[in-house]
Structures are given as structure tokens and as C-alpha cells.
Amino acid sequence: MQKLRDIDVPESGTLPKLTAPRVERRQAPAPRRRMRLLPRYLQLALDLLVLVSAFLIAYLLRFDFVIPGRYIWRGSIQLPFVVLIQLLALGLAGVYAYIWCFVGMAEVKAFLIAAVLSVIPLTILRFLMHGSFELLQVPFSIILADTILAFGGVLGLRIVRRVHYEKFTKGQQLAACGDVREEAVLLIGAGSAGVQAASEIKGRGNIRITIKGFIDDDPRKQRSVVQKIKVLGTTADLHRLVKELAIDHVIISIARKVRDGDIRRIVELCESIPIRVRIIPSLDEILHGNVEINHIRDVRIEDLLGREPVELDLQDMRNFLTAKSVMVTGAGGSIGSELARQVARFGPSKLLLVERSEPALFNIDRELSARWSELDIVPLIADVCDRERLQSVFATYEPQVILHAAAHKHVPMMERNPAEAIKNNVLGTLTLGEVAGESEAEVFVLISTDKAVRPTSVMGASKRVAELVLQHLDSRFGTRFVAVRFGNVIGSAGSVIPIFQDQIRHGGPVTVTHPDMVRYFMTIPEAAQLVLQAGTMSEGGEIFVLDMGVPVSILDLAKDTISLSGLRPYYDIDIKFSGIRPGEKLFEELETNGENMTKTRHPKIFIGKIACYPEQQVRLAVERLALLARKGQEYELRCFLSELLPESTLEGLRAKPELASSLEMMEALSTPISLIETFGDACLSPAA
């Protein structure tokens, strides 16, 4: 450590005066000016000025600007009377609740109502007042002219204020952006979404975009003008217009994803030009508050799927979730976290986030608490197999709706760890379900998978057994136990799209297991919404199957992912085939033999009624699975799953075992094995 140097003390005995080094302070940037709202008294004064002026102008127009002397006196008597009625009408119509600079078409109705409310009493009094009140009889022509001028004037004041506010705001945004080059763009789609996007872009100074025109394939819109922007042609003219107008990129402004693949067709057309293509957010993203209409983004894989937005029965959803204590297990995972977001929209009394992973739980808790600060959100670190912990949670918070998303779901990983698949997916479901039933919860919804249909993997078989367990629980308790089956979701943890994107970032190659591999896909929000909607329809024991649409080729998905990254498949990024992994099959199914698929009131949700296994068989099967999982007898575990599920074709077996062997052993058990004694608390429940 460096020694402090000695300080020379002068003869006077006083220390020299020490001075601090001079620090230059940076001048703080001037605060950005904000346009103030008009005070209430000033708003009222301006309205009074307009109303008085309108009445005087109406009289002048009535008498060709030469008012007879006796009518001047009558008008001066009528003026305060008429203005008072008009002010009362404006107040009753709610006009004074509006902020002037935000008045738009939606508020015009209130001004029309106020006009009618003022005309009715003035007209009635015109015919009823006689004698000494005759001076208050306003001529009908003046009533009409005054009403048009007065209420048109007060509305006009607010429109002028809004125009001034928008110019002021845009000027500040332009100043904040500096000298950023404006980009010339074409909007594809001159419908409602395109009009709204154009209006927002033109009104925002922080979006440096110049709209050169609209492109729309509707022949009725050709040569028309929308928001002072011309419709220049159809998509067939896109190549020519891009060259002529020096377009930087095009923006897809289609409000809904259409079934005939318009978005995919437009993307492929833009790639052939080539020109960069972007898209406005979907209506679903805007409604859920994730983005604004002017938040233009690059096209994503989910835009190319052509999935229709989900239409929910909002009243059923409110009855199902509002003011209820709702538990979501696996709340830090892809599906669990989205379920929690969707539930939060409907205002539950409590939202219990059950998760084993501390970082995942921290992230979703922080996100939800920031977006819905008024909600009672309870983060709970817990394993779904820990009966004592679950009993404590249920006793404390009394959840009424349980959404069980915690699961091991990675097929090749579970092929290597079959005992863990059984512990979490089967025994965890049983433990959580029993605690829910004992606590008299209302509804228990299990997130299942299309891999449970004629399973070829341990993961799929474990989810099929979990469905059987759920039907067994439904017969034991008053709680409504249901399962919801669906396929893959875009962007979930461990799914193919993030893997492709990571491979592209590292320069490739992109690996696909087989050129003929196909899968069902839906977006995470769509899956979560349909799960909740299915929960509202449950009576108990159903297995709901979601409409997954058309299977998607994984090879095409890989090509699309490469193309949307601005690269060319096989040229910039190679695609290689790695071979089908253990437990995988070329295509997935959503229904099994013996299921009676019936429609529900929702077009995207079906019910598969499956014959239940006998209660004794399910109970003994679960105990046998618990014993094999505890002992780590993986081959015997696969054999038993194959026996229990005759429709399954699990890998790793030398031959399909005879069904009687292990089942006879189960029947021979004289004393039932307690799950807790057999298995203990060793099972885990990671994020879904």
C-alpha cells in the first residue's frame, strides 16, 4: 500500500488550505416541452363564446344581416336561455369528459346527442309558451341554424385543438430523431388495418417513413385515395413500382391472416424482386397490449402459418376466471407463462405461479407484476410431486382452477431418461390431481400432446397414461378433470424454430431429421387461449382436441426460416438431414382408434370421448410404474408401458410383450403399494 507523503506544516502551525479539484459540470439537456391541457374554465369560456356567436349568426342569417329592432330585444332575452340549454345538453351527453386533443370520430356521437337534447326542449317550448313568456319563443329556423352552428362550432374547436396537438407532438418527435433518413415504403393492403397504420405513421414523427402508396388486389380500390395516399396498383405491379419509386421496403398491412396464404405469397413475391418485406402487428398482438399498430416488424414464421385469430367467448371466460383463485403449474415455461398472461387479462382474485425453476419463476413474476400491478400474483417454488408442499399451498390459497402445464416434453431427452418422464408426467399429475380433488377445486385442466396418440416415444406414452389417470381422478372426485391435446407451438423452449435460428446465427448448416417429416403447429397465444376456452366447456372426463390446421413440412419450415433471415437456402445456408431420432415418427396424429370425435360450440375445439380403463387397473398400473421408475428399471418400464397401451410402438423393445405378463403380476399383488412409500418425494416438475 502506498504511503501517504508527509505534509509540510508552516511555522504558523496551521495546515495549508486544501482545495478540491475543479470539476466541470455538464449542462443538463433542456427538458422537452409538453403541451398543457386546457384548464376547465378556459374550455367553458371558449364554448360560451362559440355558442353566443352561433346564436347571433343564426339571427343575422335569418334576417339577411338586417335585424329589425323588436327582434334585437327578443334575441337578447332568448340568448342566455338558449345557451344555458345547450350547455346542459353538452354536459348530459358527456362532452366535457373528453380531452380536447384526443377527440375523434368515436366522440362525434356525443355531440350529435347533445344537439338533439337541445333541439327537443327548444322546439317544445316554441309551441307551448304563450302570453308573458312569448318572448322566449325562438323561431324554428333559428333553432335549426343555431344548433348546426353551435354544436358544429364546439366540435370544430376540439378538432383544431387536436390538429395543433398532433403537429406539436410530431414536431418534437422529429426533433428527437435528428437527421435520420426517411425510407420510402409501399403498404400492401388498403383495408382497415392499412388505413389505421397509414394514419399512425403519418401522425408520428418518430417513424421516419414516407408512404408512397397502397398496393391492393381488390379491383374496386384501384385508383382510389385513402388517407391522401393513392392506391397505385395490385401485387402484380409491385416489381415495377419498387423500381420506379425507389422503394426501400414494403409493409404488409393486412388485418387478419387469410387462409389462402396471401402473406406467404407476398413474402415470396418480395423475395423474388428482391425487396425487404415487413409487417404490422396482428390484431391479437395489438389487443393484448404487446405492441402498437405502428410497431412495424419483420415477418416471422408464425405469419406464414396462416392461422386465423382465435375468437373467445368472453362471457364464458369471465365466468371461468374472473374473481377466481387460479393456479398455473410450469408457469415459467412457454405454455405456462402464456397461460398466466391470458389468465391475468380476466382479473382473477389470485394468480398462483407454481414453478420449480427459480430464474424462470422470477422472470414471469416480474413481467406479470409490471403489467398487472393491481393483481394478487403469488410466485410459488414447488414440485408437483411434493404432496406436503402442494397440500400447504392449497390450504393457504384455495385454488379453484388448476392449469397443469408442468411436464417433461422433449422426446429424445425422455428416451434417455424414461423414469423421469414417468415421475413428472404421470405421478406428478396424479399427486397434483389428488390434492386438487381433496381440496374440492372446481376445474383441473391437463395440457396434453398429440404425441399421446398411438405413442412411439416414452414421452408420448407418459402423457397418454396421464390422460388415463385424469379420467380415473374424475370418477373419484367432484372436481372436473379434463385434458387438452394439441401439437407443437411456434417458439416454445426446445422447439424446432429456435434451434433453426441458432444454427443460422452460427452459419449453418440447418439440420432436419427427414425430408418427409411433418408436424402440426400453432402459436403460443392461440394454444393458451383455446386451452382456457376448452376449460370453460368442461363437464369432466373429456379429452379436448384442438384444431391444428394443416400439417407443416419441417423442411419447408427450415427453408422459410433461412429466407426470413435474409439468406438463401442451400446457397448461403446448407440444409442437412440427420435422421429420425429415437421415439420420433414422421407425422403426428390428433385422434386415436375408438375415440368418438364430436364438435363443440367452438369451431377449433373438439371432444374425444375415450373409454376409461377400469379403476383397479389404472391404480395398479400407476403403482407398478412408480416402482419401476424408482428402481430405474428402464427396459422393464418400456415393456410395461407397451403392455398397458396396446396401440403404442415404443422403441428399444426386442418384441412386443404379451399383455398378460405384467398385468397378472399386478393382480397378484395382495397389498396395494402406496405411492408415497413406493416413490417418496423424488419426482420433479420443471417448466413446460
Cβ atoms 642, 623 nearer than 8 A: no
C-alpha–C-alpha distance, residues 503 and 243, integer Å: 34
Q: Is the dihedral of CA 334, 337, 340, 344 positive or negative?
A: negative
**Three-class secondary structure of residue 325 per DSSP:** strand
Strand 377-381 with 401-404, pairing: unpaired
Give 524-566 as a 3 state SS string: HHHHHHHHHHHHHHCCCCCEEEECCCCCEEHHHHHHHHHHHCC
212 catalytic? Reply is: no
Catalytic-labelled residue, pool 221, 409, 451, 463: 451
Cβ atoms 512, 555 nearer than 8 A: yes
For 340, the enclosing helix (H) or strand (E) is helix 334-344
**Three-class secondary structure of residue 363 per DSSP:** helix
- What are the residues whose beta carbons fall under 8 Å from the beta carbon of 589, sequence distance 6 or more? 450, 453, 454
- The set of cell numbers assigned to 50 is 362559440
* Backbone region of residue 630 per phi and psi (left: phi > 0; alpha: psi in -120 to 50; beta: other values): alpha
> For the purposes of burial, counting CB atoms within 10 Å of the CB of 162, is it exposed (0-12), middle (13-18) or buried (19 or more)?
middle
In whole angstroms, what separates CA 330 from the centre of its chain?
19
Strands (E), 227-309: 229-233, 249-252, 276-279, 297-298
Q: Quote the longest CA-to-CA distance of the chain.
A: 116
- What are the residues whose beta carbons fall under 8 Å from the beta carbon of 243, sequence distance 6 or more? none
CA atoms within 13 A on the CB side of 253: 29
> For the purposes of burial, counting CB atoms within 10 Å of the CB of 646, is it exposed (0-12), middle (13-18) or buried (19 or more)?
exposed
Write down how long the chain is.
688
Give 123-182 as a 3 state SS string: HHHHHHCCHHHHHHCCCHHHHHHHHHHHHHHHHHHHHHHHHHHHHHHHHHHHHHHCCCCC
> For the purposes of burial, counting CB atoms within 10 Å of the CB of 683, is it exposed (0-12), middle (13-18) or buried (19 or more)?
buried
C-alpha–C-alpha distance, residues 225 and 232, integer Å: 9
State phi, psi for 210 to the nearest 5 degrees.
Answer: -110, 120
- The set of cell numbers assigned to 469 is 389417470
Tell me which residues are annotated as active site.
Answer: 451
